[in-house]
Chains A and B, each alone.
Chain A
Amino acid sequence: MIPAKIENVFIQVTTDYTGVITNIIAGKFAINEFILQELIYDSCPFLEGTLDALSLNETFLLEGMVIFSDEKEFNVDIELFKHEKSIDVLIHNRTNVYKIVDKLNQNRNDIFFIKREIAEKNIELEKLRKIADKANEEKSRFLAMMSHEIRNPLNAILGYAEMISSEKLNTKVAKYTKTLASAGKNLKVIVDDILDLSRIEAGKLALVSEQISIKKIVKNCKNDFKHLKTNEDVALVFSTSKKIPKFVLGDAVRIHQILANLISNAIKFTNKGSVKTSVKVLSETETEIKLIFEVADTGRGMSKEQGLKIFEEYQQNELNDNRIHGGAGLGLAIVNRLVKAMHGKVYVKSKLHVGTSFFVEISFAKTSKIVTSFKQKVIKEKEVNLKGKNILVADDDVLNQTIVAHILKEEEVTTTIIYNGLEAFAKLKAATFDVVLLDINMPNMTGEELMQQKQDFSSLNANTPFLAVTANTAKEDVERYLALGFSGVISKPYTKADFIQKIKTVFK
């Protein structure tokens, strides 16, 4: 590169006080613009008005001024010095420097405008987020409330259905009761599904990582569905690869839920043929094993578009699917979210009128410890008998009371039933009980308020176990109850067996 000649990057001229050029002293920069005896203002408009204002015998610097020469723009710095009769004007051409500055400036401007736009968008997003958060909160509250409201009467429905079916019935009534019970159970599944989905959405679903047996989970599914199966024309087939390790780390309950949802979905849409569930090993490393679960049916199948939408909430393909097949169409949405939570993949392959296969791929950590052959000590359930036990039941709901009374009567328990928290409080001060079953939402005094005052009845019931009977079964609720001193929670709706089982546990 040839360095620019120094004389080409500056010019020094002298003017009189009116701006007329009187001398060109040195340099050649923009030489054509500076003509002796002409005004310097034509080439340097910024000097007009400035020259008059200069102070005597002082250097004055003007940076970053624009000059035109040969159709080009130059950025220059000007040094001025005012003598008694003349003014020195030194102009440095700094085009190159300014080229870079130019670019930087442009970049800065671009960034500035982008920043501004982002800031505006962020404000907008923040607003939208707040609205969405609020709506979501409302939704969660609504769901929690509704599920609670639904669970209570549902408990009554299921309880009475169970009670009725244990009576001697004519076949017609037996059939009706069975239908009633099954409808109730379906409703329970839906309520649970809605709750599950909202919990997963709210990020409140915690997956556990414990030693689980995939084979056992599949076996359990098999038992469940055999038990439930109504359509003789559909064969249920289950298989697991021999290569699957005995134990992996995972969440058995949720894996079961994934499979159960896929299988019941397949059964719903298959009139004839089979629903095959299989588990195979997809790949394996030293620490991890990737399994692929497949649920294949010979049902009506679906189109590609349907396949894409199938994992969305409330999605059932045909308008009247809800009516025919029941359910809120949440099963697959739950599967989708559970699989995502496990960092897995779920996809579907289907042919219309041929069948559908759902695939779930999940990686499991292998258990590091080899489980030695020590037999897991099976704690043999010591048979507890409730006969003759003195149990206090506080519940404001007459339907619930009747069910509880019925169940406990069969166990030959001495039951004291009261209608609210205050009465319970009085009873607890007067007598000792073996177990106390407390509803949480009661008038006068809630179950929680009652527990907060437990020192007031500690003389007679210091060691009495308390069980909360409630539909509030969110994790934080249960934790709060346990912290208050409850020994456990019986969640509504319950089956008779659940109910008895829970009470028995406090005697172990």
Chain B
Amino acid sequence: MNLKNQLELMIAKKVLLVGNFGVGKTSLIRRFVLNEFSEDYISTIGVRVSKKVVTYKNEAIKLMIWDVAGTNADEKIPKAYFLGASAAMFVFDVSREETYVTLEDNLKMVKELSGLEKITIVGNKKDLLSKEELEVVVDKVSLQIDLLTSAKEDENVEDAFMELTAQTLK
């Protein structure tokens, strides 16, 4: 069997990244898939889907990563996007309070739309805050944050997607 066919037969898992504008969803995906980062903010229009094969517990899994265009609190993500999704990551920006003050409500909404039980919560741009400031943010956020990441400095990005992958298999 050639490589292409192998890839095609591999199990594909659909995962979504959601969260406000500018929190770094696209950047996290770029870092994870292409190992690139750019300071420019190029607003994502429409849904872009990236593929990456990961190995989790000795099993190769093809992640179909949906970068859902920036949404904000009063904009609903179309339910159709979640069809067949195995996991979702909610990304917020640790340096912008408005991206996490309504975290609880946003998460509830995502859970309702996706039917998923657990959503991976990621606080991005940790490079912008000091350790102390990060602690303050962690305290402010009422829910358990799974990972604090920096797409810019490539910190915990891999781990965040691994956590997401783990969710797809549950």
* Interface set of A (CB-CB < 8 Å, partner B): 39, 41, 45-46, 48-50, 52-54, 60-66, 75, 98, 101-102, 105-106, 109, 112-113, 116
Q: Which of A60, A75, A98, A109 contacts B80 (CB 8 A)?
A: A60
A62 partner residues in chain B, CB cutoff 8 A: 47, 78, 80-81
CB distance from A40 to the nearest CB of B (A): 12
Q: A63 and B64 in contact (CB under 8 A), knowing A48-B12, A102-B45, A109-B43?
A: no
* Bound Cα distance from A109 to B13, whole angstroms: 31
Interface residue? B48 (CB, 8 A): yes
A75 to B48, CA, bound (A): 10
Q: Is the CB of B81 within 8 A of A109?
A: no
- Determine whether the beta carbon of B66 is less than 8 Å from that of A112: no
Contact flag A98-B14 (CB < 8 Å), given A45-B64, A112-B22: no
Residues A54 and B46 in contact, CB atoms below 8 Å apart = no
Chain A residues near B86 (CB-CB < 8 A): 49
Q: Are A64 and B84 in contact (CB under 8 A)?
A: no
| Chain B minimum-CB-distance residue to A51 | B84
Interface residues of B in 51-80 (CB under 8 A from A): 51, 62, 64, 66, 69-70, 78, 80
Q: Do A63 and B22 touch across chains, with their CB atoms under 8 A apart?
A: no
11 new A-B contacts at CB < 8 Å, known A48-B64, A64-B46, A109-B43: A46-B66, A49-B14, A52-B84, A62-B78, A64-B45, A64-B69, A66-B45, A66-B46, A105-B43, A109-B21, A109-B70
B8 part of interface (Cβ distance < 8 Å): yes
Q: Which residues of B contact A (CB under 8 A)?
A: 8, 12-14, 21-22, 41, 43, 45-51, 62, 64, 66, 69-70, 78, 80-81, 83-86, 96, 98
| A116–B96 touching, CB < 8 Å | yes
Closest 8 CB pairs of A and B: A53-B84, A49-B14, A64-B46, A45-B49, A75-B46, A46-B49, A66-B46, A109-B43
Give the chain A neighbours of B80 by CB distance below 8 A. 60-63
Measured between alpha carbons, how far is A410 from B70 in the docked complex, in Å? 89
A43: shortest Cβ distance to chain B, in Å?
11
**Shortest Cβ distance from A62 into B: residue:** B80
Closest residue of B by beta carbon distance from A53: B84
Cα A395 to Cα B14 in complex, Å, equals 90
Which among B41, B48, B84 is the interface contact of A50 at CB below 8 angstroms? B84
Nearest CB in chain B to that of A94: its residue? B46
Of the candidates B43, B47, B70, the one whose C-beta lies within 8 Å of that of A46 is B47
Residue of A nearest to B83 (CB): A53
Of the residues A63, A113, A116, contact of B78 by C-beta under 8 Å: A63
Chain B residues touching A, majority SS: mixed
Smallest distance from the beta carbon of A316 to chain B beta carbons, Å?
47
Is the pair A109, B45 in contact by a Cβ cutoff of 8 Å? no
Q: Could you tell me the distance in whole angstroms from the C-beta of B49 to the nearest C-beta in chain A?
A: 4
Contact present for B47 and A48 (CB under 8 Å): no
Measured CA separation A48–B62 after assembly (Å): 10
Q: Which B residues are in CB contact (< 8 Å) with A105?
A: 43, 45, 69
Distance between Cα atoms of A116 and B41 in the complex (Å): 15
B43 to chain A: which residues have CB within 8 Å?
Answer: 105-106, 109
How far, in angstroms, from A14 to B95 measured CA to CA in the complex?
47
Tell whether, in the assembled complex, residue B21 and residue A98 are in contact, meaning their CB atoms are under 8 Å apart.
no
- Please state if B47 and A64 are interface contacts (CB–CB under 8 Å): yes
Q: Are B46 and A65 in contact (CB under 8 A)?
A: yes
A66 and B47 within 8 A (CB):
yes
Inter-chain contacts of B70 with A (CB < 8 A): 109
CA distance A102 to B80 in the complex (A): 21
Which residues of the partner chain A approach B46 to less than 8 Å between Cβ atoms? Answer: 64-66, 75, 98
Q: Evaluate whether A45 and B8 lie within 8 angstroms (CB atoms) in the complex, with A50-B14, A112-B21, A113-B22 already known.
A: no
**Docked-complex contact B47 and A65, CB < 8 angstroms:** yes
Contact check, A109 vs B78: say whether CB atoms are below 8 A apart. no
* B80 closest partner in A (C-beta): A62
Of B45, B50, B51, B80, chain A has the most CB atoms within 10 Å of the CB of: B45
Query: Nearest residue in B to A68 (C-beta to C-beta)?
Result: B48
Contacts of B47 in A (CB 8 A): 46, 62, 64-66
- Determine the chain B residues whose CB is within 8 A of the CB of A54 once the complex forms: 83
Q: Which residue of A lies closest to B47 (CB)?
A: A65
Q: Which residue of A lies closest to B65 (CB)?
A: A45
Distance between B89 CB and nearest chain A CB, rounded to angstroms: 16
With A and B bound together, what is the CA distance between A49 and B168 in angstroms? 12
Inter-chain contacts of A101 with B (CB < 8 A): 45
B83 touches A60 (CB 8 A): yes
Nearest chain A CB to B14 CB, angstrom units: 4
Q: Give Cα distance in the complex from A60 to B46, angstroms.
A: 17
A121 to chain B, nearest CB (A): 15
Which residues of chain B have C-beta atoms less than 8 A from A65's C-beta? 46-47, 49
The 8 Å CB contact of A98, one of B12, B45, B78, B83, is B45
* Assembly CA distance A54 to B70 (angstroms): 25
A41 to B49, CA, bound (A): 11
Which of chain B's residues has its CB closest to A113's CB? B22
A63-B80, A109-B21 known; A45-B41 Cβ under 8 A: no
- Bound complex: CA A109 to CA B44 (Å): 10
28 A/B residue pairs, CB under 8 Å, sorted by A: A39-B8, A45-B49, A45-B50, A45-B51, A46-B47, A46-B66, A48-B49, A48-B64, A49-B12, A49-B86, A50-B14, A53-B83, A53-B84, A54-B83, A61-B80, A62-B81, A64-B45, A65-B46, A65-B49, A66-B45, A66-B46, A75-B45, A98-B45, A98-B46, A109-B22, A109-B70, A112-B22, A116-B96
